Amino acid sequence: MSGNTSIAAKVMPLFGVLYVAIGLIGFAVTGFGDFLENTSDYILLSGLSVNPFHNVVHVAIGGFLLIMSRQSTATAEGACLGVGIFYVAAFVIGVVGATNLTIIGMEGRDDLENFNHLLNGVILLGIGLISSAASDRQGRRTGLPSERGRARRHDPSGGWRAPLSEPVAGME
């Protein structure tokens, strides 16, 4: 780990492992046939619809969360926010039209997977926002720049500028 102790970096691996496990369990249910078909397969009587492509998406998102949780604070928090936005967008796409997400095995507006996408998206967005605020508070409290403050820092006069250790072009 890169020394990242942010809330996002601590919680994202849990979601990552969960998504990878759901994808692998999904493959046990669906197999690898009918890759893009709208099947009637559900994960362990949960009512959450899947097909092989949907399983690949779960494994990929889980792997992404696991990898990004081991990066810098800003990267982990940004990835958490990004995946949250992705899931909220999947919810919107799923409820806007009856057949918008059949490529991942969903069966229209009433599919329970839409609610699952919304729930996961809101949770990940919340974690990303809370983590980002906590990291910013910690940086202000300690007087040390957070990882995101290395590229530029806040100027009390109301703007952003490069860190003092790096000369600003044209201001030498």
Q: Are 9 and 78 in contact (CB under 8 A)?
A: no
Q: Does residue 172 lie within any of the structural domains?
A: no
Q: Does residue 60 lie within any of the structural domains?
A: yes
Output the pTM of the full model.
0.70
Q: Which domain holds residue 96?
A: 7-161
Q: Does residue 132 lie within any of the structural domains?
A: yes
Q: How many domains does the chain have?
A: 1
**Digitized pLDDT (tens) for each residue of the chain, 172 residues in all:** 456 788 999 999 999 999 999 888 888 877 777 765 666 655 655 656 677 888 898 899 999 999 999 988 889 999 999 999 999 988 888 888 766 665 555 666 667 778 888 999 999 999 999 998 888 888 777 776 555 444 445 555 655 555 555 555 555 5
Q: How far is CA 49 from CA 9, 37, 155, 165, in A?
A: 29, 12, 50, 54
Q: Does residue 1 lie within any of the structural domains?
A: no
